[in-house]
Amino acid sequence: MNRQQFNTEKLDEGCRELGIDLDSEQKRKMIVHLETLAKWNKTLNLTAITDMEQMIIQHSLDSLAIFPFIKPGRLLDIGTGGGFPGLPLAILNPELEVTLLDTRGRRVEFLRNVCLKLGLKNVSLVNSRVEDYRPSQKFDTLTTRAFSSMSDMLKWTKTLQYPGCRLAALKGKMPVDEIDSLLPEVQRSVRVEKISIPFLAAQRHLILIDF
């Protein structure tokens, strides 16, 4: 088995554990995303993880694990960086309209290159701070991954919070202090899901708030 076959098998095995069935084209796109990330990472410093197997686990599978909590329709991935979790979710579900937002123009340039290479038609790119972003349409889900504290995120996304919208913030260890710092009425709306990532011993928690 060559390295590319190994990587594809690793992705496939992890997806089976998550209950996700990827076709051959989706697997190819996931791997190409990571390969392109590895190349651009040499100049852009997009990720501290450089081993392909660990990128599959800590980027692709980490992103796909939150899919059951994503609402249909339109998704905004805030501070997307290398495209996580937004790009894997867009590859998994072509019906999901995904907008990737990042403040750094070079990262957006990288993401544009990836989307063109993969032929993704359901992904839009925005180079902006989230607090300055004023979209013409509402989003059904707002996602973040280790982006900021919950209090800052709720403050910065105030203009994006509509009835029916969900904030899904992926964290590592249970962020008790972050939740405790929220107003009591906000704390009552917080739901925490423990997320299991295949092949990963580290803790993952998804903080959910429905507006």
**What is the arithmetic mean of pLDDT over 192-201?**
96
- What domains are defined for the chain? 3-210 (3.40.50.150)
Single-letter amino acid code for the residue at 107: R
**HSE-up of 85 (CA within 13 Å, CB side)?**
29
Alpha helical stretches, state H, the chain: 3-18, 24-44, 52-55, 62-64, 86-92, 105-118, 150-156, 176-180, 184-187
Average pLDDT over residues 47-73: 95
For the cut 90, the answer to whether the pLDDT of residue 50 exceeds it is no
Counting residues of the chain whose pLDDT is more than 90, the rounded percentage is 90
Radius of gyration over every alpha carbon of the chain, rounded to an integer in angstroms: 17
pLDDT in tens, 121-165: 999 999 999 999 999 999 999 999 988 899 999 999 999 999 999
**What is the Cα–Cα distance from 134 to 187, expressed in whole angstroms?**
26
Phi-psi region of 142 (alpha: psi -120 to 50; beta: other; left: phi over 0): beta
Per-residue pLDDT band for 6 (boundaries 50, 70, 90) equals confident
Residue-level pLDDT at 48: 87
Give residue 5's pLDDT.
82
Reading the block at residue 104, the tokens are 């750094």
Q: Where does the pLDDT of residue 1 fall: very low under 50, low under 70, confident under 90, or very high at 90 and above? A: low
**Per-residue DSSP letters for 119-140?**
T-SSEEEEES-GGG---SS--S
Query: What is the spatial distance between Cα 64 and Cα 93, in angstroms, rounded to a whole number?
Result: 10
pLDDT at position 31: 96
Q: Which residues of 184-195 are buried (b: 16+ CB within 10 A; e: fewer)?
A: eeeeeebeeeeb
Task: Write down the pTM of the prediction.
Answer: 0.95
CA 22 to chain centre: 17
